């Protein structure tokens, strides 16, 4: 059985009022813009690594 089968007529009318109001609230909310930032590049995960060996700089 569904929940609506156990409700009175007054309660069903109240639920229908809430259903009618809900789409208005959804239209007012805006989604935030996705960031176009490459965080891996900013944190330096893809950069070249250099080290010093015998007085010379070497790269991997």
Q: What is the pTM of this model?
A: 0.33
User: pLDDT digit string (tens) for 3-46?
Assistant: 778 888 999 888 888 877 755 555 666 677 777 888 888 887 77
3-class DSSP state of 38: coil
**CA 25, CA 14: separation in Å to the nearest integer?**
17
Contact 57, 50 (CB under 8 A): yes
Facing residues of 52 across strands?
57
10 membership: H or E segment, kind and range = helix 9-28
Q: Is 6 left (phi over 0), alpha (psi -120 to 50) or beta?
A: alpha
């Amino acid at each position: 059985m569904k929940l609506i089968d156990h409700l009175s007529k007054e309660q069903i009318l109240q639920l229908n009022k809430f259903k009618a109001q809900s789409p208005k609230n959804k239209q007012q909310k805006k989604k935030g813009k996705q960031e176009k930032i490459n965080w891996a590049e900013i944190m330096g995960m893809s950069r070249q690594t250099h080290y010093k060996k015998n007085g010379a700089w070497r790269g991997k």
